[in-house]
């Protein structure tokens, strides 16, 4: 692998602020945030509830547009992308892992992993094959025909990760991926995310308030009241 | 996404059943109206079509026999028979008459025809025989069934007792039915033996129908002459002008109800599955895939309702015809195909309305 490419910055925020106006009052959710995330890196956004972790993730994904500043993902200015381009970009280049898993209950595990491939026009047979492979990698291939409501929390999150990987995205954004899990499951899930960054050279950004996970991260961004308190890259 | 569309519908079995039932009833209503229309259309023109004469001669300004009062004289017939190229001119009398039977009265479209010429009589005798002499009458089958009249019974028109000798088909115009007597009987009932309503003219071989028509107009300036197909068209238009607007109005109301039911159900589905749609949007689903989910659900509901309506239509028409024999219903493949296409169109329209709900679903909702 090209070493230069392997540590390339894929996600960068430059002096990003986001404020919300309600009832004539303006409230800053994020203020003057600047950070970078590289390929092969697990960046952990740590902070208490209301510190702006999720807002930063939604800015990175283009769900929110910054009030000021610039968000660049794989060289594209996310804040100025057209909605259709953003949608394609999310489908092809981003994978999402949510706190509550957000699997589609009406679809089986395999179908949940296949569905995002349909967004990119992958043929059904190929999508099924890829889903099977991912479920195997995450040790849940035996769950392929089950429906989400019958799974444990840990199993659901593994399925969600498989779904996030289905289109082979370069960036994975995880919002509180361990918040709904028991301690042992949380360690397993964060270990998987760690592996995705280190072994598959993806850029993983995870927002969490769980300080126990800081050991797994390459870079820890501490947030408080919408501002970065500290960025501490591990050696 | 087809699986998703179908499974989410199946997830609410009672709602699914009621929705399909509601749609089926709307389509059944439309099928029923269409079948009545076709029944009336056929019943109204079957008599005219069956008497495949070359020319119809009526009083001036008259265009049809369904809602017109053509009055001609037997003297017209004598002139017609003198026109070069006329093989035969057969008189027919039409008059609205009240039939009495066992204290009940009803109106028929009494038709007097020349039994020797054999033209102008009932298109089909389904039971019994045609009239052979004065004092006999052939009734429409549905009319007879409605009033419990059988062959061999007597009915009264004015003060004249008439023996029912046969039952005819293709003579039910829904609001009124044909009845047949001899020409002289009908003229006697009018009270003016020299009156007829129209003449059915056969053109001799070797003569052009158009030319003979012109010749008749020249000889008899006060009459209207129609070629057969033109006359059939006149009567169809006359029937439709009085009947179709009502059917259209009811059919449109049915279509609006169906579209409303379907769009409401689909919109409710979107709102209930709001989380799923938000997730799909967040994961990068193109709009067309989300629209396809709703469209698939809409078509599934619409066409399931349509098939249910097809299954119920036969028995329902049977019950209607049993309870109201004068209601003639006919459903052909064309009507079924049109209903299927209409259900598809209404489903598409409903899904377009429901798709608008997707606009209010934001991918950001998944982070709440």
Q: Please give the residue of chain B at the shortest CA–CA distance from A104.
A: B276
Query: Does the predicted interface ipTM exceed a cut of 0.95?
Result: no
Strands B55-59, B198-203: pairing kind: antiparallel
Phi/psi at B51 (5° precision): -85, 75
Question: Does B272 reach chain A within 8 Å, measured CB to CB?
Answer: no
B14 touches chain A (CB under 8 A): no
Q: Residue B14 has which token pair?
A: 């009672």
Alpha-carbon span A64 to A67, nearest angstrom: 9
Contacts for B337 with CB less than 8 Å, ≥ 6 apart: none
Mutate to test the interface with A, among B1, B4, B284 (most CBs of A within 10 A): B284
Residues 6 or more apart whose CB falls under 8 angstroms from that of B279 comprise A98, A102, A104, B366
- DSSP annotation of B114 reads B
Closest-approach residue (CA) in chain B for A114: B1
Q: What is the pLDDT of residues B89-147, one digit of tens each?
A: 999 999 999 998 888 899 999 999 999 888 899 999 999 999 989 999 999 998 998 88
Angle between helices A109-119 and A124-137 (to 10 degrees): 130
Residue B309 and residue B28 in contact, taking contact as beta carbons nearer than 8 Å: yes
User: Could you tell me which of B368, B357, B361 has the C-alpha nearest to residue B280?
Assistant: B361
Q: Is the pLDDT of residue A234 over 80?
A: no
Average pLDDT over residues B31-51: 84
Tokens of A11: 């996600």
Please tell me which residue, B324 or A222, carries the higher pLDDT value: A222
Residue A2 has pLDDT above 80, yes or no: no
Question: Searching chain A, which residue's CA lies closest to the CA of residue B11?
Answer: A106
Closest among A69, A20, A13, A77 to A45, alpha carbons compared: A13
Chain A environment of B3 (Cβ under 8 Å): 106-107, 111
Q: Measured between CB atoms, does A208 come within 8 Å of chain B? A: no
d(CA B59, CA B72) in angstroms, rounded, equals 6
- Find the CB nearest B289 among A57, A94, A119: A119
The CA-atom distances, in angstroms, between B250 and each of A176, B16, B43, B325, B327 are: 57, 25, 21, 22, 17
Residue A202 half-sphere exposure, CB side, CA atoms within 13 Å?
A: 24
Residues from chain B that touch A91, judged by Cβ atoms under 8 A, are 283-286
Asked if A96 reaches chain B (Cβ–Cβ under 8 Å), the answer is: yes
Q: Cβ–Cβ of B285/A106 closer than 8 Å?
A: no
Helices A153-165 & A109-119 angle (0-180, nearest 10): 20
pTM of the predicted structure, to 2 decimals = 0.77
Query: Residues B86-95: pLDDT tens digits?
Result: 999 999 999 9
**Tally of residues, chain B:** 368
Any chain B CB within 8 A of the CB of A175?
A: yes
Taking only the tens place, the pLDDT of each residue in B166-194 is 999 888 887 789 999 999 999 998 888 88
Paired tokens of B295: 């469209």
In 3-state terms, chain A is what percent helix, strand and coil (to 5)? Answer: 40, 30, 30
Q: State the maximum Cα–Cα separation within chain A, in Å, rounded to a whole number.
A: 54
Quote the CA–CA distance of A118 and A124 in Å, as a whole number: 8
Angle at B190 between CA B189 and CA B195, to 5 degrees: 125
Contact between A106 and B4 using a beta-carbon 8 Å cutoff: yes
Instruction: Flag whether residue B367 sits within 8 Å of chain A, measured between CB atoms.
Output: yes
């Amino acid at each position: 692998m090209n070493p230069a490419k392997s540590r390339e910055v894929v996600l960068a925020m430059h002096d990003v602020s986001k404020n919300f106006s309600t009832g004539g009052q303006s409230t800053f959710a994020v203020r003057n945030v600047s950070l970078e995330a590289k390929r092969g890196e697990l960046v952990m956004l740590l902070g208490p509830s209301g510190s702006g972790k999720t807002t930063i993730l939604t800015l990175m994904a283009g769900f929110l547009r910054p009030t000021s500043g610039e968000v660049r993902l794989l060289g594209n200015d996310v804040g100025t992308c057209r909605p259709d381009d953003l949608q394609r970009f999310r489908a092809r280049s981003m994978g999402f892992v949510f706190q509550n898993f957000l699997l589609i209950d009406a679809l089986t595990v395999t179908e949940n992993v296949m569905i995002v491939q349909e967004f990119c026009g992958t043929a059904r047979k190929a999508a099924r094959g890829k889903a099977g492979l991912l479920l195997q990698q995450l040790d849940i291939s035996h769950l392929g025909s089950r429906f989400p409501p019958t799974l444990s929390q840990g199993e659901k999150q593994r399925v969600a990760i498989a779904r996030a990987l289905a289109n082979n995205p370069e960036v994975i954004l995880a919002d509180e991926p361990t918040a709904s899990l028991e301690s042992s499951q949380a360690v397993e899930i964060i270990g998987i995310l760690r592996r995705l960054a280190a072994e598959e050279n993806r850029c993983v950004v995870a927002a969490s308030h769980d300080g126990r996970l800081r050991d797994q991260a390459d870079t820890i961004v501490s947030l408080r009241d919408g501002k970065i308190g500290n960025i501490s890259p591990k050696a | 996404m087809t699986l998703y569309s179908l499974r989410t519908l199946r997830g609410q079995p009672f709602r699914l059943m009621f929705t399909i039932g509601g749609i089926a009833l709307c389509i059944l209503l439309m099928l029923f109206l269409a079948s009545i229309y076709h029944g009336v259309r056929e019943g109204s023109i079957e008599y005219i079509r069956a008497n495949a004469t070359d020319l119809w001669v009526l009083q001036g300004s008259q265009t049809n026999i369904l809602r017109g009062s053509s009055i001609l004289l037997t003297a017209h017939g004598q002139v017609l028979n003198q026109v070069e190229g006329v093989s035969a001119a057969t008189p027919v009398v039409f008059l609205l008459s009240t039939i009495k039977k066992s204290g009940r009265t009803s109106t028929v479209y009494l038709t007097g025809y020349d039994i020797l010429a054999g033209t102008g009589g009932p298109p089909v005798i389904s039971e019994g025989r045609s009239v052979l002499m004065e004092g006999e009458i052939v009734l429409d089958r549905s009319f007879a069934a409605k009033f419990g009249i059988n062959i061999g019974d007597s009915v009264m028109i004015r003060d004249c007792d008439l023996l029912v000798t046969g039952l005819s088909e293709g003579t039910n115009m829904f609001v009124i039915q044909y009845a047949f007597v001899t020409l002289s009987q009908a003229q006697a009932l009018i009270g003016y033996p020299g009156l007829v309503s129209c003449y059915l003219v056969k053109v001799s071989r070797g003569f052009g129908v158009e030319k003979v028509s012109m010749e008749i107009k020249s000889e008899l300036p006060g009459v209207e002459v129609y070629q057969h197909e033109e006359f059939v068209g006149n009567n169809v238009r006359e029937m439709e002008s009085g009947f179709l607007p009502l059917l259209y109005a009811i059919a449109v109301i049915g279509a609006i109800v169906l579209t409303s039911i379907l769009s409401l159900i689909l919109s409710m589905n979107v709102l209930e599955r709001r989380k799923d749609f938000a997730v799909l949007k967040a994961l990068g689903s193109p709009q067309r895939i989300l629209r396809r989910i709703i469209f698939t659900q809409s078509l599934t509901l619409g066409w399931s309702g349509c098939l249910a309506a097809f299954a119920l239509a036969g028995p329902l028409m049977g019950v209607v015809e049993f309870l109201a024999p004068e209601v003639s219903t006919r459903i052909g493949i064309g009507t079924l195909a049109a209903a299927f296409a209409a259900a598809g169109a209404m489903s598409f329209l409903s899904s377009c309305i429901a798709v608008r709900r997707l606009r209010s679903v934001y991918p950001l909702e998944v982070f709440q």
